[in-house]
Amino acid sequence: MSKKTLLLLLVSLFLLALAACGGGGGDTATDEPAGDTAADTGAIGDAANGEKLFSQATIGANNAPGCITCHSLEPDVVIVGPSQAGLATRAATRVAGMSAADYIHQSIVEPNAHVVEGFAEGLMYQNYATDLTEQEINDIVAYTLTLK
């Protein structure tokens, strides 16, 4: 990747993140925020809606940065955070005794709980637990579980 292309990509990401931080319009959640409950509640998400949410530039009540803003679906392609290609397979083995669904759910609602080596703590947006509904989080988890 040329320096010019990389610079253009970084500027674009910065502008997307800046736009995501400004309040205003966008989707608003109709369910209660996600709180501290984990995916172990047995809730099942809708993978199709999760894919839609994952692919949006902003999500949730406060126009939080969408997953695709920072995470590539291409193997070994890093935008800001780690690539999500193969996430379901990796998540199943990250923490002994923790399911892939629980690992991904906790990574969304408590971003610093499982910081991947090579990435800084605090890099991921910290408020998905309050900006998204539990159903939206479960939908994203259901979609990411298809990324094997």
Q: What is the pLDDT of residue 63?
A: 97
Least confident of 35-44, 59-68, 70-79: 35-44
pLDDT value for 5? 44
Q: Which residue has the higher pLDDT, 23 or 86?
A: 86
Q: How far apart are the first and last CA of the chain?
A: 26
Per-residue confidence band for 14, with pLDDT thresholds at 50, 70 and 90: very low
* Kind and range of the H or E run holding 59: strand 58-59
Instruction: Give the count of domains, the chain.
Output: 1
pLDDT over threshold 70, residue 82: yes
Domain around 139: 3-144
CATH number, domain with residue 24: 1.10.760.10
Q: What is the mean pLDDT of the chain?
A: 81
Q: What is the mean pLDDT of residues 67-95?
A: 97
Residue 46 corresponds to which amino acid? D
Q: How confident is the model at residue 85, as a pLDDT?
A: 98
Give the pLDDT band of residue 87 (cuts 50, 70, 90).
Answer: very high
